[in-house]
A = this chain, B = another copy of it.
Amino acid sequence: MRFLSGTSSDGVREQLFTLDGIPGVLWTPDGGGAATRPLVLLGHGGGRHKKDPEVSALAHRLVTACGYAAVCVDVPAHGDRPQVEEYARLAVENQARVEAGEELAPLIAEFQARVARRTVPEWRAVLDAVQELGHVGPGPVGYWGVSLGCGLGVPFVAAEPRVRAAVLGLGGAHASADAAARITVPVQFLVQWDDERVPREQSLALFDALASKEKTLHAGPGGHGELPAFELDSAVSFFSRHLGPG
């Protein structure tokens, strides 16, 4: 893990890093010395990147309100990472299949499952590296990700026992119901009632598939990109309840 830069503002230290060619950003309390603290891994959305405004805003809140660490890395073919020929080819093929009348949602899900085969081991390596840092340490871990961050997050949370609580959503059951059935940690699951990309019954099917004893669906009006800002506050409360003090 190699740090590229570090800046501080409003009580938050932000460090850019690379780990085996994966660019990432780590947020921690400014001036926070050696201390074990909860860590939340954030998964960004499709076509976005590690410093997406929503991701960055949530990271800042987790640091300032809870004293947590937060980390986000670019998904392959996103942000500062090179294009992936296989994904580019698939995107073109899928476009053609949708134009020929195929349903969009299963194609998105299949694509995300393919990307997850890379991101699950990558994200586990990110946890390993970040938890070795003196100002983070081996505390409890949370995961937050919607849309692409849900498609990649479901198999990640299912595979990674360090994750104790997760916020997921804006995703459907097409590809990830099997992985969802292996998730038992508390989940807050976000649905946009008028999501034009994920059919409502697919969202509810993914929520139903989660094996978690504690799981709460948060649903409201609006399209895929219109998640209300107060759901970030709600995520902070949720993590605070499950990951403990920072």
Instruction: Provide the A196-225 mask, 1 if CB < 8 A to any CB of B, else 0.
Output: 000000000000000001111111110000
Give chain A's interface secondary structure class: mixed
Residue A244, interface by CB 8 Å: no
Structural contact, A214 and B219, CB atoms closer than 8 A: no
CA distance A220 to B214 in the complex (A): 8
Within 8 A of B (CB), among A128-150: none
From known contacts A237-B234, A237-B237, infer whether A217 and B215 are also in contact, taking CB-CB under 8 Å.
no
CA distance A216 to B193 in the complex (A): 10
- Return A133 CB to nearest CB of chain B, in Å: 31
- Return A223 CB to nearest CB of chain B, in Å: 14
Q: Which residue of B lies closest to A210 (CB)?
A: B221
Structural contact, A221 and B228, CB atoms closer than 8 A: no
Copies of this polypeptide in the complex? 2
Instruction: Provide the A20-63 mask, 1 if CB < 8 A to any CB of B, else 0.
Output: 00000000000000000000000000000000000000000000
Which one of B215, B216, B220 contacts A215 once the chains associate, using CB atoms below 8 Å? B220
Structural contact, A219 and B220, CB atoms closer than 8 A: no
Within 8 A of B (CB), among A158-209: 193
- B-side contacts of A230, CB under 8 Å: 241
Residue A233, interface by CB 8 Å: yes
Q: Which residue of B lies closest to A231 (CB)?
A: B216
Q: Which residue of B lies closest to A208 (CB)?
A: B193
Within 8 A of B (CB), among A7-31: none
- Return A117 CB to nearest CB of chain B, in Å: 30
Structural contact, B214 and A217, CB atoms closer than 8 A: no
Instruction: Provide the A232-244 mask, 1 if CB < 8 A to any CB of B, else 0.
Output: 0110010001000
Enumerate 12 A-B pairs (CB-CB under 8 Å) in ascending A order: A213-B221, A215-B220, A215-B221, A216-B218, A216-B220, A217-B217, A217-B220, A219-B219, A233-B241, A234-B234, A234-B237, A237-B237
List residues of chain A with CB under 8 Å of any chain B CB.
193, 213-221, 228, 230, 233-234, 237, 241
